[in-house]
Each structure stands twice: as structure tokens, then as C-alpha cells.
Amino acid sequence: MDLGLKGKTVIVTGGSGGIGQGLVVEFAREGANVISASRDAATGEKLVKRAREQGCTGTILPVATDVTSRASVDAMVATAHKRFGPVDALVNNAGGVKRNCEFDQLDDETRRWEIALNIDGVVNCIQAVASDMLGRGKGSVVNISSNSSLLGEAAQQVVHYGSTKGFVNSLSKTLAYEWGPKGVRVNTIAPGWIVPHRDEDVSSGSFWNRLEFVGTPEGMQQALEAGTLPNMSHLPIKRLGRPEDIAHLAIFLASEVSGYITGQLIVNFHFQYFGSEGRVAIVAGAGSGIGAAIAQRFAEAGAQVIGADIERAAVDSLAAKVTGLTARTCDVTDSVAVDALIDGAVQRFGRLDVMVNNVGSAIAGWLKDATDADYQRVLALTLTSAFHGTRAALRVMLPRGSGSIINISSGAGFGGAPGLATYGAAKAGVNNLTLTAAVENARSGVRVNAISPGAIRTPAILAWAESLPGGVPAYEATLLPGRFGRPEEIAAAALFLASDEASFVNGAVIPVDGAACARVAAIDIPKL
């Protein structure tokens, strides 16, 4: 894959550890110049050799760094400048647990140690690269958090560690809001158990070598299968996460392909485009806007795509320009028509790998003035269509034990949007439909996820914005990043979710909204 990182300067802290090794090698595989910042510089030198043996085209530069020391961090960044130039991306991976204990047994030394590493270390590194990124108006910060910041169960006997990672989560969202208008994105990955492939793939200071209750990397899979692995006994997907799983997502977030994703907290993702075998995908609502962008992106990635829309002329026009795209007419509010669409794809291509439910409709107006007809139309096009598409896709994917269903939701599904009560309720239904379908089928090999776009430059949004005081420019100026998102940016996220390398992503609703959902602000209710 080529995500435009060739020649970019990337700092990975904690680069000698399990996840860190995966990050360093995979960024180098993308052609980036990677600074492996770690106290264990000797392991960094081994990564240089490993990357060379694997044919990685990027350069790896190990730099001995103590992230708890601002002077050490500044010296590391100065080395990066001297060797490669300004920093384009920072991955704050350094972190750890000093010891596991109940909270009432927590001593001051342990508490200060973990604050210094997991909080001060992140702050030091972000501040050290701030001038590079803010001065040029571009850059990506990816912070590695932990599921212990989100789940009490995952923080058993490490509540002090989970608390420091909670700080990182909040820092990321707030900084994304503050730096978004300045062109710098900040996102967070919260891994669960991510296990190196071999015992030797850990640094000297890794918790694998310090915390006896963890066990060894090579023994983790056995523990998982035996149902004795902490926090993982009931994992729906019966495999361990590996360092490359986190690395692939970090690469995605560091690249401009994810240019409209900021302020997000994501758990256990990874990235790769379609394989050469060629996938079969159906995109409903492919006639324009987001749907057309997704259909085109999938086709360009090597998939056989059926673009379906109630307006046949629109998808015919798209199919004339895009190789690998077949146009179909379908009324997605009709379950019989949806079943026929999917059956037709299977009959022609032998399978269905991806189903994208993109159809939706909003009718603006106060709830008290909404008619039954308005309600039924919005519900049918927005929620019922997703229900039909999800159900029909499951029926053909489950027997094969593989497939990816992607529902296009909206930020209106997360909170109250004045004038969009029916639409918001329908999108909230799409979100819950997604989560429930994912949980019900988690062990089947079929994944169900959703994307929640923000304000995307589509004909419908532009027409609505033009009706507001000041028109499109005035509305666009109010958006947190200062611009509309592009349909292509939603398509990039959909391609990620559709790929095999997203096999550990299931039941997620991913905002692609320029940090809109990360914002907490008092907003005047508009007059309709």
C-alpha cells in the first residue's frame, strides 16, 4: 500500500517494545524515515537489520531517549531535524506499568513513575514537535492509550495505569479541538492485549519482563484458548492482537488518507487495501456524493462493485467512467428488491464480500410540525434501508464465514440536532442496528461497522448551506476544521473497514467529522 508517507519524518516513542517494534518496521515499510525513540537503543539497532531483511524502503534511526525528560526529548527531535528535517507524524507509544497492585496498596513511587512515563512523556513529546507541525500547518499525532482507560475489568490491579491513559484520551480530544483549525490532527488508539510474536520481540524494560502475572508472549495464545487470559476469556474474535494490527491503524491515522479524522479514540484497528483476489462489493446509494465516492474507491482498489441507486441514470454515468463498476436500480425501502440485488450479485460473481448501506434522507423542521408522511419517508430511507441491506447481506455472508457490512450513519445519531429529530432518531437506530448485528455475529467471521460522517461536501449539504444566512462560505467557516469534509475521505474509511486487515474491527461507529463530535460547546438553537 502507498499512503503517501514515503520520505516523511515519523517519531515512534517506545520503539523497542512489542507494539513499538511493529510501529517502527511498518512505518519503514511505507517508506517513512522513522526515529525509534527508546531507552533500549540496542533493540533499535536490531530493528534496522530486520527492516532491511524484510525489504523496507524507509530509514530507521534508533535514538536513545528518556521521554520523561524534556531535555532528552528535545535532543531526540533535534537529531530528527538534523537527519531528516521537520517532524510530520508523532506516535506516542512509550508507556507502561511499574507494578500491579490494588489501589489501596498504591505507593507514591509507583504513582509518580507511571505519571512521569504515561503522562509527562506524552506531553513532552507533543510539545517538542508542536512548532514543526503548527508552524507548517500540518501534522498528525497518534497517542497509544489502553483499554484499561475504558473498562474497569481491564484495569484490575492497574487502576493507576488506566487512570494515566484516561488522561491521554482526554488530552487527545481536547488538543484535536484546539489544533484542528491549525491543520494538525490528534487521535488515539486504545489497544487491548497486543502480543509480540516471539519472546525476544520485547525490550529489556518491557512489562513482559517485569510483571509475572502477564506470562510470556509465546504462552498467551494457549492461555486465550484455555479461557484463562485476563480480560480476554470471552473475546468474540478468537485471536490475539499483534503489533502490526496497531501499526497499520497508526499508519492510516498518520497519513493524509485520514485527513478528516481527528479527536477520535479507536480500539484495535489495522489497515490494508483489498487483496489481488478481487472483492465483490455492493454500494447502495451510489448515484452521487458519498456513495459514488465509495463505489469508485472500491473499484479502483480492485473490487467488483455493484453500484445501486433508485436513480439509474446517475449510476450509469458513474459506471461509464469507472472500470469494474456495474450499475443497478434498487429501491432499498423494498426488502424484496434488496434481496434480489444481493442474490443477483452472488449469482454473477459467486459471492458477496462487502455491503455498504449508504442511503438516507433528512427533512428539516421542528418535531411538532413533522407529518406522518415525513416521518415514514425518513425512517424508510434511513433506517429501514440499512435494516434490509444488513439482514440480506448477513444471509449470504454467514454461510461463507466472512464479509464486511458498513452502514453510513451521521453525527445526528449521537445527540440532539434541532430540526432533525426524525433523521437523528433514524441514524441512532442505524448505530444500534450496527452494534447489535456485530455482537450477534461476532464469532462468525462477518463484521458490521458504521461510519459517522460530519459535514461533507455533497450536493445535498451544499444546497442546504446555501439557504442559510451568508450561504455556503458562512456555514463552512463555522465548521471546526474550517472546511467541509470530502466524500473521498469517507470512502477511505470505508475501504479500511472493508479490508481483511481490519479483521479486528467490529461493532465500531467511527466518526469522520473533523473532530465535530469531540467538541463540547454551547450552541444557540437556530430558528427555522
The phi-psi region of residue 22 (left if phi > 0; otherwise alpha if psi is between -120 and 50; otherwise beta) is: alpha
Which has the closest alpha carbon to 59: 38, 22, 32, 23?
A: 32
Instruction: Tell me the three state secondary structure of residue 223.
Output: helix
* CA nearest to 162, candidates 150, 173, 174: 150
As a whole number of angstroms, the distance between CA 215 and CA 208 comes to: 7
Q: What is the largest CA-CA distance in the chain?
A: 70
DSSP H or E run through 247: helix 243-254
**Phi and psi for 265 in degrees, rounded to 5?**
-115, 115
Buried b (16+ CB within 10 A) or exposed e, 486-521: bbbbbbbbbbbbbbebbbbbbbbbbbbbbbbbbbee
Residue 300 carries which side chain, given as an amino acid letter? Answer: E
Contact in structure between 431 and 509 (CB atoms under 8 Å):
yes
Q: Is 423 annotated as catalytic?
A: yes
Alpha-carbon Rg for the chain in angstroms: 24
Task: Give the count of alpha carbons within 13 A of 359, CB side only.
Answer: 31
Catalytically annotated residue among 161, 177, 273, 423: 423
* Residues ≥6 apart with Cβ < 8 Å to 232: 192, 193, 224, 240
Q: How far apart are CA 287 and CA 309, in angstroms?
A: 6
CA distance 326 to 349: 12
- Any idea which residue has 453525527 for its cell? 411
Q: 482 — phi, psi (to 5°)?
A: 80, 10
Whole-number Å distance between alpha carbons of 321 and 33: 37
**Residue 104: C-alpha distances to residues 152, 160, 269, 370 (Å):** 16, 11, 34, 56
Q: How far is CA 479 from CA 109, 163, 474, 475, 518, in A?
A: 45, 32, 9, 7, 13
Q: Where are the alpha helices (DSSP H) in 262-356?
A: 289-300, 312-321, 335-349
Q: What is the C-alpha to C-alpha distance for residues 286 and 298, in angstroms, rounded to an integer?
A: 12
CA atoms within 13 A on the CB side of 399: 8
- Residues labelled as active-site residues: 423
